[in-house]
Amino acid sequence: MIQKHPIFKFNLFLFTSIILFSCSVRKQHSLFNAPSDIVTDTIKQVYVVNDQGISDAYYKIKISDQLAIRNVQNPEFGATASGSSSTLSNTTSGTSQNILSYPVEPDGMVNLPAIGKVEVVGLTRREATIKIQDSYKQKLLKDPIIELTIVNLKVTLLGEFGKQGNFLLEKDNTSLIEIIGEASGITKTADPKTLKIIRGDRSHPEIIYVNLTDINSLASKKLILQNNDIIVLQPTKGSALSEKLQSFNNIVQPLLVVVNLAVLIFTVTR
């Protein structure tokens, strides 16, 4: 009977250990795991867990929203600080910028320079723009052109994107693909079948799985982004395993040197 060399036994042990942890390595590296994540291996286009229906395409302004308002023709109106305005630092496309904004107060009003309070709660962005525009026209300016942005509406991108972080929803009906474009696309190590959007109530969220390799996925209305969506994209199993193996190798390699040296000494002195 052939007796196996000790170093062979040790290497066999290491190989077996690698096989055992390789199957779950991507899950260990991914964020916000859910029991339903198993569908990512078989999903064809878009699959929804805990479907909450199609949300309103047009966001309705709420109390405490922050409105950035600019008058294109007369920048001094709608761009000058007033008693109720504030300066926010927002992260958009990985950069920080200071935006002068006006909060929607508990009474549903926004207090604007020169014209005072305008009720905007419950209005869409377009409806609020027209109402504020008409208020400036009636009280102060001739044919004003107003630009309005709700600066606190955002989505969060995590994982295998060119850029991670918070991205503002600067217009209505912003799609998933537009935000991925702002994030400089996906990385080379991303698995395009594993994208998921976590939406709504955090204690019982709607989870939307998307296969980015199928162009028919783009037709889904679920890919119109909503405020506070979390978008997560995992690495491929191969890249996750490669990263894990590299870390494993950094630990094991010095150990192998010691074992080989011990075996050599044992063989010479036997």
Q: Where are the domains of the chain?
A: 31-56+153-236, 66-150
DSSP for residue 14: H
Record the tokens describing residue 29, joined without a space. Answer: 């590296």
**pLDDT tens across 187-234, in order?**
999 999 999 999 999 899 999 999 999 999 999 999 999 999 999 999
Rounded to whole angstroms, the Cα distance separating 219 from 176 reads: 11
Q: Could you tell me which CATH number the domain at 66-150 has?
A: 3.30.1950.10
**How many H helices and E strands in the chain?**
5, 12
User: Comparing 31-56+153-236 with 66-150, is the CATH topology the same?
Assistant: no
The strands making up 66-71's β-sheet, listed across from edge to edge, are 86-92, 95-103, 66-71, 146-150
The amino acid sitting at 76 is E
Q: Quick one: which of 208, 186, 261, 200 has its CA closest to 228?
A: 200
pLDDT band, residue 57 (cuts 50/70/90):
confident
Q: What is the pTM for the complete model shown? A: 0.71
Rounded to whole angstroms, the Cα distance separating 223 from 51 reads: 13
Most confident of 16-20, 148-152, 248-252: 148-152
The amino acid sitting at 153 is L
**pLDDT tens across 84-134, in order?**
566 555 444 443 445 578 999 999 999 998 889 999 999 999 999 999 999
Rounded to whole angstroms, the Cα distance separating 200 from 221 reads: 16
State the sign of the Cα–Cα–Cα–Cα dihedral 118, 122, 125, 127. negative
Q: Contact 27/33 with Cβ under 8 angstroms?
A: yes
- In this structure, whether the domain defined by 31-56+153-236 belongs to CATH 3.90.1640.10 is answered with no
Helix, strand, or coil here: 191? coil
